[in-house]
Structure 1
Amino acid sequence: MPDKTRPSWDEEVDLLIVGAGAGGMTAALAGTLKGLEVLLCEKTEMVGGITSTSGGTIWIPGTHLSVEAGVPDTTEAAASFLEAVVGERGGDAQRAAFLEAGPKVVELLQEKTAVNLVAAKAHPDYIGNQPGEAYGGRALAPLPFDGRRLGKSDFARVRPPRREFLALGGMMTARNEIDALLHPLASLANFRLAATTVLRYAFDRLRYSRGTRLVMGNALVAQLLYSLRQHDVPLRFETRLVELVKEGDAVAGAIMAGPDGHRRIRARRGVVLATGGIARNPRLRDQLYPEATRRYSLAPETNTGDGVETALAGGAALAEGLDSPGLWMPCSILKRKDGTELMWPHIILDRAKPGLIAVNSAGRRFVNESDSYHDFVMGMLRSPEQAPDKPAHLICDRAFLDKYILGMVFHGSRRLKPFLKAGYLIEGASPQALADKIGVDPATLEQTLADYNRDAERGEDPAFGRGTSAMNRFNGDPEQTPNPCVRPLGPGPYYALAVWPADLASSVGLQGDEDGRVLDANARPIRGLYACGNDLGSMFRGTYPGPGTTLGPAMVMAWRVVQNAAADQANSQTEKRSA
């Protein structure tokens, strides 16, 4: 008699991968190259997820690309660095596996796929003055990609970057090109770059909804999608995870909901969760995130924690003991006339520059403003005077606006009126006047500026050590001496910009082992269930060591998942032959 307790399946594959961000697409490619039958399902109509709106940097130490770039790196040095940064928070086995596999993954992608990376000669690790830290070589960047290679239909499948980062309504620019585009007449090189970039964009708009010259995270996503098409990897859009199907204690497959209804898909080697972490899941945000960080998120609206929620319902456990449940970025908010909001992540273009300080809701400095975006917000969250329902403020003088970028204020003091009118930028003739407008005590802000300026006259910041790390100095202004990150704020008027914490990725995720196997509450692997990317708890345990330390582990752990699944398949076949 047939066993009626076993579910009937609509189809079977070796690996069912849920989520087409960098982790999911890498898993699909690695699985296909390994000879597994793979099915990649994406909840939305576009690939990319959080990756597509990111800088696209991938942190993987010890690769051949670092040697080619002239800044050779070693995994041994990276291990020392991570030991100092992460400390006793755990995750040692995962990090060791990541460091061992990372160079192999990069070599595979470079040789077998259209993924094309280059090691940055100068892109320092985020935590300074640590053993084993690197100034360059570990941060890998995708080279620009011509979106026309995808064809019009697949190009439309690449999730666009944040609209705040698109010039002229649809043109992408790399970070090192911004100055040339803002000052095209400053030099012949600037003019050539600006002219060729804008002309290319103008021709693109005759056929496409946006520019096809893709950089940063968009370039990485396009390279991965192009590779999937080259290798004929099945990819289903608008197909979401409904439920994991278990046979005993093992995950045997999943119920997926797509345009044609619900389908029960058997996954002989396992289900891989790569859905972007808890992101915009309201229940998990309220449960796990600090109050001040729940208001804003940089994740796409459709990232609602499907993978984590479904795995928890199937007996999985969350990672514990993290330094932070999320990775944060300070963001300013511009409210437009139609009621919509633009959100600008303050990454490196303003906070590190001299002539700017940050104050909490009490009017006092609380952090090294030149540190990483994550550490900036951690300083904000740890400041006992910072009210969770209020922003911090970046404060600068007029000379700063004339020379640098401040959030969405790109064009210097000549075009401030729209930003002042919208309330995005706040102006005060004196520290006291500015304090009244941003809601802090005038005497406190005046004293904060006086204390900072006294030390800044000597290029020093004894309170927070600004400009004392390689990363600080790299993002500062080399023309400012002796400290590229420090100068006094001059006479008024003064300007303030409110910044709020927003999550760019979750650190808290499913508890897993060094092969991406999801663990239960007793730390036992749930057979047939894997995770990578933000669905998997951070191997850096809630710290943020360097640029791309979400994408690097996502892609490397995706590869390790496939190796484990393939080995499991080989072991199963050997057992059958021996029986």
Structure 2
Amino acid sequence: MDRVWDEEFDVVVVGTGAAAFAAAVTAADAGRSVVMLESTPRWGGSSSMSGGGLWLPTNPLMERAGAADSRDEALAYLEVTVGDAGPAASPERRAAFVDGVADFVTMAERLGMRFTRAAEYPDYYPEKSGGKIGRALEVEPFDVRRIGPWWTSARGQDGVPAPVKTDDFWLLQRAWSSPDGFGRGARVVGRVVAGLARGRRLVGMGAALTASFLEIALRQGVGIWLECPLEEILVEDGRVVGVRASRGGSAVDLRAREGVVLAAGGFDHNTALRQQHQGVDGSASSGSRGNVGTVIEAAARLGAALDLMDDAWWGASIPPATPDGSAAFLVSERSVPHSLIVDSEGRRFANESESYVDLGHHLLEHARQVPGRFWMVTDVRHARRYLRSYALDPRANKAMASAGILHRADTLAELADQIGVDRQSLQETIDRFNGFARTGIDHDFGRGNSAYDRYYADPSSRPNPNLGTIEKGPFAAVEIVAGDLGTKGGVVTDEHARVLTPDGSVIPGLYAAGNTSASVMGRTYPGPGSTLGPACVFGHLAARHLTGTVAAAARPATPAAAH
């Protein structure tokens, strides 16, 4: 007996983050009918709350600006940074990512997306072969009034509530310590005021990215169904033909004539899965609370291979101060001067300014050797000179203090007692660190040696912009844990984003992108936007493949530098 379908579409996309939107608008651009399913009442996923950067080597904006980059350099850089990290990061998938960048960007611009380069943002290992500065793109601040009532259900409201861009953010961090930081702050305020004067309500970063995607999708006629979680992936004669979802309390069977794309995030807030695969509970994740891994589990039930389930987009975070609170993911705060991170014995163990995924891995590894709590110790100049996102809300500060996460003291000895660290050990660590700050060379961990370190730094701090002594009270210590931007493991896919079984066979009709899929970046983080860049490109490639359409234009035969 033939199945009776409640609705039929050419393409069903599960999720509403950047990867999902990239797949949806690409399929719709090819003339296909598309519906997007969101399990929660709010669309946009973790992408909406993120910095919104997309790491896209050899992108068209670089070529237009005359910024030298090439396919060979990009692939060489991925080889040296990602290396052999399993099937998700295969050479074929790395090449597909790089080769898909230009077509994705060109299509998105044609559909109305306004990209800009983060021209000064370096790759995270810029000194390695093929490393560059300025490969990341982001979307210009977006007027959310253009999407009408859809903004009221946007998860982007949980992100940065201002039209801030990446190159604003790294200067805003030193708004009180330097003329360029103060000037950038004035520009951001001016942008807000000008927008309001023109009747606009501008947002930036991840909120701008997903809102731009939404506007395109609505114009194309893409259906966006909120509170419609996936229950089952439906198969007939060995091929995925649709999905069963729950809508309005009832099960609905949706036919997907050409394919299903899974792009619903990872398992950030699934405590059982995180304990099973990673040994953490996920409470310090900054990912969307709707990311609970049900879509990954549904694919696994069909026989999909899984990879990198033990890994995440790690980083140093301040744990939530209340059971229903959110963790604070740290980027610039741990990199600017007058700060360091110590373990429970009062010792440093890593370069505080290194890429967040590296520091996250170091936190996890070191915790196995030296159990206990980790602390970022600062002196009063850290508080006075730099924008500290975790300390802007007095209510949050009070909650952190009540929870024993934040401590303040007039002397280092008192601070050591408060955080349970040996006084002498902490003083010896800080004395040694202060010596490095005065000479400008961190002989232990090389903080400030890389261009990436120096991106989040204070050039007025000499001789090393990342180092400053810790000697002026009052002092503070805030607890640091290994948090994340989301999980990195998921279903294994090929260069077309088709879902694979453990023997490498394709599951016909099923595709995946974003954090639902195991990352092409393996166990590292090559540059700013290494989550969203591949997410969008592989969402785009999935739709290209399932609709049988090809790139609008072939890649130039010569590197961008030759034009």
> What's the secondary structure of 1:482's corresponding residue?
coil
Does structure 2 conserve the Cα–Cα contact (< 8 Å) formed by 1:515 and 1:561?
A: yes
Map 1:29-178 → 2, pairs under 5 A: 29-90=25-86, 91-111=90-110, 113-136=111-134, 138-151=135-148, 153-162=149-158, 165-166=160-161, 171=162, 173-174=164-165, 176=168
Distance, in Å, in 1 between the alignment partners of 2:183 and 2:485 is 37
Shift in Å at residue 117 of structure 1?
A: 0.8
Distance, in Å, in 2 between the alignment partners of 1:188 and 1:369 is 27
TM-score, length of structure 2 as denominator length: 0.89
Q: Which has the higher contact order (CA 8 A, sep 6+)?
A: 2
- How large is the Cα RMSD of the aligned pairs? 2.9
Map 1:388-467 → 2, pairs under 5 A: 390-410=372-392, 423-467=404-448
Q: 2:269 aligned with 1:274, yes or no? A: no
Q: CA deviation digits over 1:164-190, x for unaligned, max 9? A: x44xxxx56445167399669977885
Paired residue for 1:494?
A: 475
Does structure 2 conserve the Cα–Cα contact (< 8 Å) formed by 1:183 and 1:190?
A: no
> What's the secondary structure of 1:357's corresponding residue?
strand
Paired residue for 2:561?
A: none
Paired residue for 1:343?
A: 327
Map 1:361-380 → 2, pairs under 5 A: 361-380=344-363
> What's the secondary structure of 1:512's corresponding residue?
coil
Distance, in Å, in 2 between the alignment partners of 1:190 and 1:316 is 48
Q: 2:222 aligned with 1:229, yes or no? A: no
Paired residue for 2:192?
A: 197
Q: 2:561 aligned with 1:563, yes or no? A: no
Deviates more, 1:190-199 or 1:214-223: 190-199
Shift in Å at residue 69 of structure 1?
A: 3.7
Does structure 2 conserve the Cα–Cα contact (< 8 Å) formed by 1:180 and 1:190?
A: no
> What's the secondary structure of 1:160's corresponding residue?
helix
Which runs of 5 or more residues in structure 2 are unaligned? 551-563
What one-letter code is carried by the residue in structure 2 that aligns with 1:141?
Answer: E
Does structure 1 conserve the Cα–Cα contact (< 8 Å) formed by 2:141 and 2:164?
A: no
Does structure 1 conserve the Cα–Cα contact (< 8 Å) formed by 2:37 and 2:229?
A: yes
Percent identity reads 32
Shift in Å at residue 498 of structure 1?
A: 0.9
Distance, in Å, in 2 between the alignment partners of 1:189 and 1:540 is 33
Does structure 2 conserve the Cα–Cα contact (< 8 Å) formed by 1:456 and 1:486?
A: yes
Q: Which has the larger radius of gyration?
A: 1
Does structure 2 conserve the Cα–Cα contact (< 8 Å) formed by 1:119 and 1:141?
A: yes
Which runs of 5 or more residues in structure 1 are unaligned? 205-210, 570-579
Does structure 1 conserve the Cα–Cα contact (< 8 Å) formed by 2:259 and 2:511?
A: yes
Q: CA deviation digits over 1:351-409, x for unaligned, max 9? A: 11122111122221111111122211111111156666x44211111222221233433
Shift in Å at residue 420 of structure 1?
A: 5.3
Does structure 2 conserve the Cα–Cα contact (< 8 Å) formed by 1:241 and 1:257?
A: yes
Shift in Å at residue 141 of structure 1?
A: 0.9
Distance, in Å, in 1 between the alignment partners of 2:370 and 2:237 is 49
Shift in Å at residue 308 of structure 1?
A: 0.1
Does structure 2 conserve the Cα–Cα contact (< 8 Å) formed by 1:184 and 1:190?
A: no
Deviates more, 1:238-247 or 1:176-185: 176-185
> What's the secondary structure of 1:426's corresponding residue?
strand
Does structure 2 conserve the Cα–Cα contact (< 8 Å) formed by 1:391 and 1:499?
A: yes
Shift in Å at residue 443 of structure 1?
A: 2.1
Distance, in Å, in 2 between the alignment partners of 1:63 and 1:379 is 32
Distance, in Å, in 2 between the alignment partners of 1:486 and 1:145 is 36
Distance, in Å, in 2 between the alignment partners of 1:434 and 1:7 is 68
Distance, in Å, in 2 between the alignment partners of 1:314 and 1:216 is 36
What one-letter code is carried by the residue in structure 1 that aligns with 2:138?
Answer: A
Q: 2:178 aligned with 1:215, yes or no? A: no
Paired residue for 1:574?
A: none
> What's the secondary structure of 1:341's corresponding residue?
coil
Paired residue for 2:339?
A: 356
Q: Taking structure 1 as reference, are residues 437 and 181 closer, same or farther at Cα in structure 2, changes over 3 Å only? A: closer
Q: 2:463 aligned with 1:477, yes or no? A: no
Distance, in Å, in 1 between the alignment partners of 2:84 and 2:187 is 51
Does structure 2 conserve the Cα–Cα contact (< 8 Å) formed by 1:61 and 1:103?
A: no
Map 1:306-317 → 2, pairs under 5 A: 306-317=294-305
Q: Taking structure 1 as reference, are residues 188 and 26 closer, same or farther at Cα in structure 2, changes over 3 Å only? A: closer
Deviates more, 1:212-221 or 1:259-268: 259-268
